[in-house]
Amino acid sequence: MEFQQPWYLILLILIPGLLFWYKQFGQFREGTILFSSKLFFSEALMKRGRRRANLLLAIHLIILCLVITALARPQLVDHLQKNTVDVIDMVLVIDISSSMLADDFPPNRLEVVKRTANDFISSRNGDRVGLIVFAGQSFIQCPLTIDLDVLRDLLNEVTIVSTDYDGTAIGLAIANATNRLRNSEAESKVMILLSDGSNNSGEIEPATAADLAAEFDIRIYTIGAGTNQSYTRIPGRGLIRNEIDEDTLVEIAQKTGGKYFRATDETALSAIYNEIDQLERSEIEVKEFTRHREIYGWFLIPAFFAGLGMETFRNINSRYRA
């Protein structure tokens, strides 16, 4: 509660002085008829008179306090905040070619990617996030959604593609994700592309697809997943060559205003997702509103009824005495 005219509250200081003056002098000037001695009255009558006088005095003081408080214009103040956040539309583009079974990220690359991506998704409350997987072809796993529980469930269902669709079509995956984001009205449109190989499938070159994404103001963060060893192992299949095309991934990121990252283990991959999470945080605009509600009536109305009650009490007593 605040007071619009608080200086009136200074008058409350006068009340103790008025009470002192009344007790010392004022009460002796109230009688209509003065008597030379109180022996003419019974003790019960005097007690009743004192109670009546004290009651009227208390009502007077209460009315005075209420009126002074009302003059100070008390107000209830509500502070309201309105937060506005620019929503980000984001598509995760994940490689599911057979090389993602390599066990340099135990138990394999795909399971680690799913685990770290799951943590990343959990932090994106308020954003729309989609999921596209790719190998020799590109597939939409989940369209843009704010239902992150559904997205995580669909992410957990992702598996390595069958041999009929094996390969790495990076350009096609970017084009597919661009198609999902191009009509977005979000302030920021982001693609996170993770691959462990080089483009060897599809009819669209990665650089061409990146140019197309840039036309729609889509920023692409690229991640190369795999150790720095020349070879790694797929359980049951033997050794495979690490063929991360870092030059292409760097070019894609540069063309779209994004950034390239290299993940050599699960810890590094988690750190990369955390960094992207911070890079793509919307600024929150906070608008504060203050609402004032006048409540001086809460004091004037009781003062009015107290005064009315006091006069009624006086009239009743006058008739009783008569």
Q: What is the pLDDT of residues 108-149, one digit of tens each?
A: 999 999 999 999 999 998 899 999 999 999 999 999 999 999
Which residue shows structure tokens 């605040």?
2
Domain residue spans of the chain: 2-78+295-321, 87-282
CATH for 87-282 is 3.40.50.410
Residue 239 in tokens? 């050794």
Cβ proximity of 310 and 55 under 8 Å: no
Cβ proximity of 265 and 105 under 8 Å: yes
Q: Is 128 helix (H, G, I), strand (E, B) or coil?
A: strand
The band of 305, judged by pLDDT with boundaries at 50, 70 and 90, is confident
Lowest mean pLDDT among 244-248, 293-297, 311-315: 311-315
Which stretch of DSSP H or E encloses residue 130? strand 128-134
The band of 236, judged by pLDDT with boundaries at 50, 70 and 90, is confident
CA separation for the pair 40, 22 (Å, rounded): 24
> What was the pLDDT predicted at 121?
96
> What was the pLDDT predicted at 198?
93
pLDDT at position 48 over 50? yes
Please give the share of the chain, as a percent, with pLDDT higher than 90: 54
Strand order in the sheet with 284-294: 2-3, 74-85, 284-294
Average pLDDT of every residue of the chain: 85
> What was the pLDDT predicted at 107?
94
pTM: 0.66
pLDDT at position 159 over 60? yes
